[in-house]
Structure 1
Amino acid sequence: MNSQARQIHETDSSKVIHGIGSPLISILKNAERIAGSEATVLLTGETGTGKEVFARHIHAHSRRAGGPFVPVNCGAIPENLLESELFGHVKGAFTGADRARKGRIELARGGTLFLDEVGEMPLSLQVKLLRVLQERVFDPVGSNESIAADFRLIAATNRDLLAEVEAGRFRRDLYYRLFVCPIELPSLCERPMDVVPLFRHFWAKLGEKRPVEQGVLARLESYAWPGNVRELENLCQRLSVCAPGEAVRVEDLPAPYSEVEPSSVVTLFAGEAECADGRTMEHEAEALRELTPPVDARCLHVFDDAVDEEENTDVDPLLVGVEEFPSDLPAFLRDLEYRFIDAALAKHGGNKNAAAKALGLRRTTLVEKLKRRAQHAARSEGTGDSAAAPSA
């Protein structure tokens, strides 16, 4: 392993961490451009992808960075309490309101209000939130006096809000108020190059200094991570408590992580990779650049003359007529797999769910394969100039 540490992007307390070639790089650049404005931001993505981390990152890069960052989880607060939590209340507004209380909107004055799981907000409150966004004023519960609102709104959801609108569970006018600067965060299985940097970050955060076997990291990179970054952090905590030795080994991994087929290319901190047979990433990239030509152009050429079945009784019927065997079978099979994937996606208009079903794959598996191909291609481009340069 190269002694140079792999670069980890950690700009501020929001701790946005990614690896080399991660799709988060372009997303971060876009988020930082948006941060300079006062525009409303809508973060979407699966649960556990780090939407609050991104919200904090945008706040930290905004003109309101010196003000408060006030988070509200709309799905965790009971509906009968959420209105008071957001807008505050005056003394005597309801039973038990023995004193006035400021709401989160007022507490966010001069800063950022982060509404997490905004898709869970009841319709009755959606109307009131819409008024705040339109008129920039709000009324505490039990009060007849409006108070000026001064905050930048960042909302987040793991739901398809447009589908919620069509189902009548979310107001269309509020949807368009929120859908000003949308940012979609990819799931962890779509960015396997981030797994090792995130693992190292969480491992160090726990105060751990024990080494981790490369076989462990290889399995973690191959795992689908349905729980995303949150699941990875929980696994780090579990290994820290339960792994007994002076190093974390493959046998310390619980199921289902231990059952994963390890990645053949393990991402390292230097941005390089070691393959199962000891080759480096440069060898792997060269092999990818020299993928076997199209299947029917080389390996499935059928002879013009009919094959005499009596003289070829020992030949597998699937190989009858094969003129030449591939010199690199793994690369050939990988190319063949991608051709089927591309064909399925083309047939189903790019719909990953339908393509995965047609291929007998889980959607997360299909997405992982596509991202791994993109990762290999990016690595190939990174070494392609020197590799492809003609000799003098």
Structure 2
Amino acid sequence: MKDIRFNISLYIIVPVIFAGIAILSIIVTYNTTTYYLAKAINPRGPVALWGGLLIAFTLICGILIVKLIIDPVKRFVIRAKDLGVVKNVQPPASASAINDDMGKFTRVFDQVTELLSKVEAQQLFPDIIGQSKVMRGVFNQIVKVAPKESTVLITGETGTGKELIARSIHQHSKRQDHPFVAINCAAIPEGLLESELFGHEKGAFTGANTKKPGKFELADGGTLFLDEIGDMPLDTQAKVLRAIEDNTIERVGAIKPIKVNVRFIAATNRNLEKMVEAGRFRQDLFYRLNVFPMVLPPLRQRREDIPLLVEKFLHEMGKQLHISSEALQLLTTNDWPGNVRELKNALESAAVLSDHKILPANLPASLSRIDNAPGNASKELALRFDGQENDSDLDARIKNYERRIIIDALRQSGGVQVNAAGILGIKERSLWHRIKKHHINIAEFKH
């Protein structure tokens, strides 16, 4: 006999149960009352008995629901805490969070979701170091666009890893078994860029002694990554636009078009919209490339990834190197205008000067400055205390150093103490006491 089962959501079952109890109680109460009134008997006793039975029945239903639904959740939470999967986090003092069981369950589930998303990001993108929320947002975009054939335009500051993202899109696409060809449009002279992209025939120009296929042909069936496309000359842009629209190219010096099947990913650190307005980039090419735009966050917007990047870079150097907490703090609080590339160069420089442990003194001198802050208030505060170190004893220097670090964290977080505490790796209450101790005015850092 075929087993026929229907799966009904708890969001339907539980309300239906209690609605049924309410309807049943109304019907029984009405019938009981009318029955005894028809016989001229006071219905108070039977109605009270029925009410007691209804209360007992409802109580039993509530207990069963708690046992069947809430108890497994509670066991999961206890087990997760025993395994160290989640932290025993208390609700923020400034928030009006409920400290009951459901509030605790919600916070634990949020932590488990956060942990699983980090694990998934690490599994899907092992070559990209980043577990921050903004980077997981980028990973989510990669997963969505990779299986499609859409053209992707990656924008972001220099050193944010645009080529790494482009490679990840290719690796998660249906073209992963075909070539990934990258070309830096800014690194090739204007006169040679067209030949590099489309190839050339023998004798097409002086020095063309052999026939040479271009990047379009080499990427046939795969992905072509046009890096720094904002530096491409206008004449070449017109030919690239035709190749994207028609999937055909012509080698330099040839008259016969060649059919190609290529997916395009472009990247730039320039503002293409402003370049279009200035007439330095073709509007039609911009619209053709900007099908799926992706914006990579700079390193200063994902500071929680810096310790992971530092660990990776030190491991790649092949030395038994460690980094002190003070040096790591300086790296975390720096703005990094050169992003990941600048961080790697700073670590390589520090590794040359250190033996086994990287100290603040080994880092480039520019990292110890806080005077690059965008706000005048933080500049004045930082400079005011930087000038006292030469004439201070050790305790005063440590105190001034702590104050500068707190000021920089508050500047980065816009005066939000919860975020500043996260940057510093301390609890919010501890930060609050330190702010009071150093007489720091939070209002000066509010955006």
Instruction: Say whether the fold is shared (TM-score over 0.5).
Output: yes
What are the Cα deviations for residues 7-38 of structure 1, in whole angstroms up to 9, with x where unaligned?
6854578711113x331111111122101101
- Alpha carbons of structure 1 residues 61 and 147: separation in structure 2 relative to 1, 3 Å: same
Write the mapping of 1:101-112 to structure 2, written as runs, cut at 5 A: 101-112=212-223
Q: Distance in 2 between matches of 1:173 and 1:11?
A: 38
- Alpha carbons of structure 1 residues 249 and 328: separation in structure 2 relative to 1, 3 Å: closer
Q: Distance in 2 between matches of 1:69 and 1:42?
A: 16
- Alpha carbons of structure 1 residues 129 and 332: separation in structure 2 relative to 1, 3 Å: farther
Candidates 248, 253, 260, aligned match of 2:363: 253
- Alpha carbons of structure 1 residues 211 and 139: separation in structure 2 relative to 1, 3 Å: same
Corresponding residue for 2:171? 60
Candidates 266, 270, 273, aligned match of 1:155: 266
Letter in 2 for 1:255: A
Write the mapping of 1:118-267 to structure 2, written as runs, cut at 5 A: 118-243=229-354, 245-260=355-370, 261-262=404-405
Q: Distance in 2 between matches of 1:82 and 1:262?
A: 47
Structure with greater helix percent: 2
When normalised by structure 2's length, the TM-score is 0.59
Across the two proteins, how many residue pairs are aligned to each other? 288
Q: Distance in 1 between matches of 2:434 and 2:246?
A: 69
Q: Does the 8 Å contact 1:110/1:150 carry over to 2? A: yes
Q: Distance in 2 between matches of 1:248 and 1:274?
A: 24
How far is the alpha carbon of 1:223 from its aligned partner?
Answer: 0.5
Corresponding residue for 2:185? 74
Q: Distance in 2 between matches of 1:188 and 1:159?
A: 17
Letter in 2 for 1:256: S
What are the Cα deviations for residues 99-148 of structure 1, in whole angstroms up to 9, with x where unaligned?
10010000001111000000111010111001011111010111111111
Unaligned ranges ≥5, structure 1 = 266-272, 292-325, 342-392
Letter in 2 for 1:213: S
Q: Distance in 2 between matches of 1:249 and 1:13?
A: 31
- Identity over aligned residues, as a percent? 41
How far is the alpha carbon of 1:205 from its aligned partner?
Answer: 0.8
- Alpha carbons of structure 1 residues 80 and 11: separation in structure 2 relative to 1, 3 Å: farther
How far is the alpha carbon of 1:235 from its aligned partner?
Answer: 1.2
Q: Distance in 2 between matches of 1:65 and 1:327?
A: 52
What are the Cα deviations for residues 282-327 of structure 1, in whole angstroms up to 9, with x where unaligned?
x32x678xx8xxxxxxxxxxxxxxxxxxxxxxxxxxxxxxxxxx99
Q: Distance in 2 between matches of 1:215 and 1:228?
A: 20
* SS in structure 2 of the partner of residue 256 of structure 1: helix
Corresponding residue for 2:436? 329
* SS in structure 1 of the partner of residue 168 of structure 2: helix
Corresponding residue for 2:129? 17
Relative contact order (alpha carbons < 8 A, sep ≥ 6): 1 or 2 greater? 1
Corresponding residue for 2:195? 84
Q: Distance in 2 between matches of 1:332 and 1:33?
A: 49
Letter in 2 for 1:22: K
Q: Distance in 1 between matches of 2:299 and 2:222?
A: 30
Q: Distance in 1 between matches of 2:303 and 2:434?
A: 29
Moved over 6 A (4+): 273-276
Q: Distance in 2 between matches of 1:203 and 1:140?
A: 45
Q: Bigger radius of gyration, 1 or 2? A: 2
How far is the alpha carbon of 1:329 from its aligned partner?
Answer: 3.3
How far is the alpha carbon of 1:242 from its aligned partner?
Answer: 2.0
Q: Does the 8 Å contact 1:14/1:56 carry over to 2? A: no
Q: Distance in 1 between matches of 2:210 and 2:275?
A: 37
How far is the alpha carbon of 1:255 from its aligned partner?
Answer: 0.4
Q: Distance in 1 between matches of 2:273 and 2:434?
A: 50
RMSD over aligned CA atoms reads: 3.0
When normalised by structure 1's length, the TM-score is 0.67
Q: Distance in 2 between matches of 1:115 and 1:148?
A: 19
How far is the alpha carbon of 1:239 from its aligned partner?
Answer: 1.7
* SS in structure 1 of the partner of residue 365 of structure 2: coil
Q: Distance in 1 between matches of 2:212 and 2:435?
A: 70
* SS in structure 2 of the partner of residue 156 of structure 1: strand
Corresponding residue for 2:143? 32
* SS in structure 1 of the partner of residue 284 of structure 2: helix
